[in-house]
Chain A
């Protein structure tokens, strides 16, 4: 369960280039709820995800995961609770370490890292079994350096790494945007399967409106640091790309005419 209470954040605060990125975002995602987040560039989507992941501390407001206030916990101390996949497939894996080493590091997410071997026989067998769910044949390439895998394989691996230790919340930041259509489809299929299987509260940023409508239980639209649209259930399944796009135009138009009014 993920709860955001009146989050605000401004970058470069107090300087001439200050940019308000979040203006009072409140949001509650239930356990296992899967929400897609859309919005134009600069709407605050990534800033919102970063606040959940702990990349920075927001100016005000609170972040609760599973009822626990994590607002001020640094990123590495809330890792146990949050798994994340970025757009760039290179970002989520260590290229000079093997598939098995990457997975095993992820399996210890948020835990103590001691002087036992990273890869015992038991761990190896378990990883072999887990990685086979990807259907990419990686179970026979556990000793391969990740840098030798394709972008799609790396992204699928990152997704598995993000979910391996069963975090509470899964954050997906346009994680299929850099993949070719066929690979993207496989990764999306894998995403929904893993999120459902593990009952993860999932927040997925996407620019693909088709994807936003068809995936998950809920659709959120952000504009100018606020959530301007929040639909679920029946209402969501009856959405169309055209309808969503005109909604986009509408919120943007409102902002535009407001700007014009200010300038006039």
Chain B
């Protein structure tokens, strides 16, 4: 049992740390109905900002918060492109993501920053007495669940509900007096803030930030969202948010299992993409099969 727990604590920790990213993807993809590719750039942005500040001797909590802040800006930039410059949402995300690649290299000054001998949030958690071997797991669980709870609260306020309406019927909520452009700026900023926060935590967790750490973030995020919807459901906001975290953990466990089964790590993105394609195409597939029979 103890062996199993020790074995699984890795993927569980990853599931929770990446789960914060999935909360962000859920916010853009499901709540705002905006397929936002910015996340492939804002995830490493959070890692780059946090790692650079940690190495510079800044308090790791502050460094992590700065990562979140950088993500807010990245999301706001994409929303600005999509609403004020009227660039198609997908392209707006791609543009910000591409720009962020250069920005992330500028922030770090090189492609990779090691954090192994630095004081990070994760090393601070490991060094304190509470939780023993599971201190990091516990810390990440508390962080992810607390953020999900805040999001749950926010999405049921008047403002948060207006955001949900923007993704559900934009014309309607505009006719009710909501500035939908501003709502998208707010929503995408929050979304990418969470994604960057996750990137900051993952960098400290894995002990380095890398300019390539964001590749495939959107696909992994979507896969987690979809797995959560299938396993936990989506009838209410609370259920959907619980599903997001559960989906992320299940996804990382599946990745872990695939690696243990001997799949090459480099094949995982292909498998994840196939999973998402299958999930997104299922409704259409069902219809075609029904017509054929």
Contacts and interface: CB of A to CB of B under 8 A. Distances in A.
Interface of A: 53, 75-77, 79-80, 82, 84, 91-97, 101, 104-106, 108-111, 113-119, 161
A113 B175 contact: no
B20 interface: no
Interface in B222-254: none
A75 B173 CA distance: 11
Q: How large is the interface on B (under 10, 10 to 19, 20 to 34, 35 or more residues)?
A: 20 to 34
A117 B158 contact: yes
B176 A106 contact: yes
Nearest to B234: A96
A76 B161 contact: no
Given A97-B165, A118-B161, A108 B156 contact: no
B133 interface: no
A116 B154 CA distance: 9
Contacts of A104: 158, 161
B172 interface: yes
Contacts of A108: 158, 176-177
A77 B177 contact: yes
Contacts of B179: 76-77
Interface in B129-167: 154, 156-162, 164-165
Given A76-B180, A114-B158, A95 B174 contact: no
Given A94-B168, A94-B172, A117 B178 contact: no
A97 B164 contact: yes
A110 B178 CA distance: 7
Given A93-B172, A108-B177, 17 more contacts: A76-B177, A79-B176, A79-B178, A91-B169, A92-B175, A93-B169, A94-B165, A95-B169, A97-B161, A97-B168, A104-B158, A105-B161, A109-B177, A110-B176, A113-B162, A114-B159, A115-B154
A111 B177 contact: yes
A81 to B, nearest CB: 10
B177 A116 contact: no
B169 A113 contact: no
Contact of B172 (A92, A110, A118): A92
11 contacts: A75-B174, A76-B178, A76-B180, A79-B175, A94-B168, A96-B168, A97-B168, A108-B158, A113-B159, A118-B158, A119-B156
